[in-house]
Structure 1
Amino acid sequence: MLLGNQINNFLLSILIFIFLFPNQIIAETISGNSVLFGGLDKITAKFTDFEINIGESKKFGTLSIKIFQCRKRPPEEIPEDFVLLTVNDMINPDNPLLIFSGWMFSSSPSLSALEHPTYDIWIKECKIN
């Protein structure tokens, strides 16, 4: 009987969540055409903004950044941008070192942060042109 009550409570909790937060469950995202990044050279303390189109690569210092996909929430939702990318350190061009591969999120840069001793990059915006 105790197990039945736990299951009922769990299902009730899920239903309450669905009714209280329906937009978070069914929200559609919008595909973007390019990504605006902020970059920091930690040695010189120089900030740089740069833009990369989807499917293209760009260098920032010794880093080579390739963008595969960028998505953003609709304007009526809580702002959030998602970018699928890879980052290679090209300090030795004959042997590039993959230092990041995956999704980055604009609202939580520390959630999937780039770990590099010299450079820091973050998403500023997934642009829809």
Structure 2
Amino acid sequence: MAAPFAVPLAAQETAVESGTGAVLRGLDKVNGESRDIEIGRGETGTVFGLDIALSDCRYPAENPTGDAFAYLTIWERGAAQAAFEGWMIASSPALNALDHSRYDIWVLRCITP
């Protein structure tokens, strides 16, 4: 298992900066509803039945609208154990995805200053 805040390999190839937060999209696979939420760095947000904590969101320094890498901890409301913890990459959401029977979460972009 990688170190908790190890930067993904693609991000190591270029200079990155941390955003002030991230824009995420949640999908309820049962009813087909999707919602976008903004979460500030160091904050926790809620979408559907999931709580999502954002530790960091990084993006290429030369291209703020480029690929986003967000370190998320996701758990079902009221659960003690996280359902997901790690980096999610906007351009490759399936590379390291939340494995949940009802909900999907993925990163859209970082919020830049």
- TM-score by length of structure 2 reads 0.82
Amino acid at match of 2:74: V
Amino acid at match of 1:118: R
Corresponding position of 2:41:
54
CA–CA distance in 2 between the matches of 1:110 and 1:42?
A: 16
Residue 78 and residue 60 in structure 1: after superposition, are their counterparts in 2 closer, same or farther (change >3 A)? closer
Kindly indicate whether the alpha-carbon contact (under 8 Å) linking 2:64 and 2:112 is maintained by their aligned counterparts in 1. no
More strand by share: 2
The match for 1:21 is: none
Segments ≥4 residues shifted beyond 6 Å = none
Higher relative contact order (CA 8 A, sep 6+): 2
Match of 1:116 in 2: 100
Taking a change above 3 Å as real, the CA distance of residues 45 and 86 of structure 1, as seen in their structure-2 partners, is same
| Residue 76 of structure 1, CA deviation | 4.5
Change (3 A) 1:41 1:75: same
| Structure 2 SS opposite 1:79 | coil
Aligned to 2:15: 28
Aligned equivalents of 1:114, 1:100: Cα separation in 2: 6
Q: Which residue in 1 is equivalent to 2:24?
A: 37
Structure showing greater radius of gyration is 1
Q: Compare the two structures and name the one with the higher helix fraction.
A: 1
> Paired residue for 2:82, among 98, 108, 118?
98
Inter-CA distance 54–76: structure 2 relative to 1 (3 Å threshold): closer
- In structure 1, stretches of 5+ residues that fail to align are 1-23
User: Could you tell me how far apart the structure 2 residues matched to 1:71 and 1:25 are?
Assistant: 11
Q: Is the 8 A contact 2:76 2:83 kept in 1?
A: yes
* TM-score w.r.t. length of structure 1: 0.73
Q: CA RMSD in A?
A: 2.0
Distance across 1 between alignment mates of 2:38 and 2:71:
14
Aligned residues: 103
CA distance in 1, matches of 2:62, 2:88: 19
CA distance in 2 between partners of 1:26 and 1:82 (Å): 13
Matched letter for residue 100 of structure 2: H
